[in-house]
Amino acid sequence: MARKSHGDLAADAAAHLARSADSIKGFGGDTQEIDRQAACLVDWARTKNVILTDAYTSGLERHLGVTAEHEVFFRESDNRVVKRTYPGTFGITDDPKGKQHHATPMFYLRRLELMNQVLGADLCLEGIYFGKSLLLGQQGEQPSIVISQPWIRAANPQQPHPTTMAIKEFMESLGFTQLKGAYYGWYRENDKVTILDGRPDNFIMSPVGVVPIDIVISQR
């Protein structure tokens, strides 16, 4: 399965961008920087033979709700959620005040790595897909990033998200302190990791406790 063979792809892709694209590691990037990194990422994906087609998600159950960053599918064969960024985009990110920006491919990949390293999230890069972009000015098929992560079952499906107090206890158990003035922000001094957008709906209260599923994480 993709999870086993592609488990280290994100780190490899991020390293390739760092070497080849003179990549910006800030919260977001301008259009030229995003396009430059995207072209570099596509070159990498071709050499790794991880260009994906519609067949990759064909037959998967599609999440009908609208999300800000991804098209979302459920893969029953390994109980994982498959997420595909909208073509021509690589996620969004909030600055410390909550203002949203288009993220660079590099930022998105590092975010995935940090979710795994800091929060034990088990996210995997699966490949690069091409589709029609909905952004004005973008023509032809544009690349997107496809990832997967475990499907987390809520302890109470009627109330799947933890309370703010439960999130506070969870984050403090990992050594984070609340970042004053930031958008649902947390900071850990020992490794300079910042978490933003830590709203309750970006966590699941599972039978074993609080599980982060979709937050903005970065490291200075």
pLDDT along the chain (220 residues), means of 10: 59 90 56 90 96 95 84 96 94 71 91 94 96 77 96 96 97 96 93 94 96 92
- The count of structural domains within the chain is 2
On whether residue 57 sits in a domain, the answer given is yes
For residues 53 and 110, membership in a common domain is answered with: yes
Q: What angle do CA 180, 96, 66 make, to 5 degrees?
A: 120
Q: Give the pLDDT of residue 139.
A: 74
Number of H-type helices and E-type strands within the chain: 5, 14
Among residues 177, 203, 188, the alpha carbon closest in space to that of 121 is found at: 203
For residues 135 and 168, membership in a common domain is answered with: no
- Neighbouring C-beta atoms of residue 128, cutoff 10 Å: 24
- Neighbouring C-beta atoms of residue 51, cutoff 10 Å: 14
For residues 121 and 174, membership in a common domain is answered with: no
For residues 134 and 203, membership in a common domain is answered with: no
Tokens of 106: 């590099």
Q: Give the pLDDT of residue 5.
A: 46
DSSP H helices, 93-207, are 105-119, 164-173
Is the separation of the CB atoms in 70 and 131 below 8 Å? no
- Neighbouring C-beta atoms of residue 136, cutoff 10 Å: 5
For residues 145 and 188, membership in a common domain is answered with: no
Sign of CA dihedral 201, 118, 124, 18: positive
Single out the residue in 127, 150, 173 at which a domain terminates.
150
On whether residue 21 sits in a domain, the answer given is yes
- What would you report as the CA-atom Rg of the chain, rounded to the nearest whole angstrom? 17
For residues 64 and 146, membership in a common domain is answered with: yes
For residues 55 and 8, membership in a common domain is answered with: yes
On whether residue 170 sits in a domain, the answer given is yes
How many Å apart are CA 84 and CA 189, to the nearest integer? 32
Q: Give the pLDDT of residue 4.
A: 43
Domain limits at 214?
164-219
How many Å apart are CA 130 and CA 138, to the nearest integer? 13
Is the separation of the CB atoms in 74 and 82 below 8 Å? yes
On whether residue 158 sits in a domain, the answer given is no
pTM: 0.89
Single out the residue in 150, 178, 207 at which a domain terminates.
150
Is the separation of the CB atoms in 185 and 194 below 8 Å? yes
CA 18 to chain centroid? 18
Q: Give the pLDDT of residue 17.
A: 92
Single out the residue in 150, 172, 205 at which a domain terminates.
150
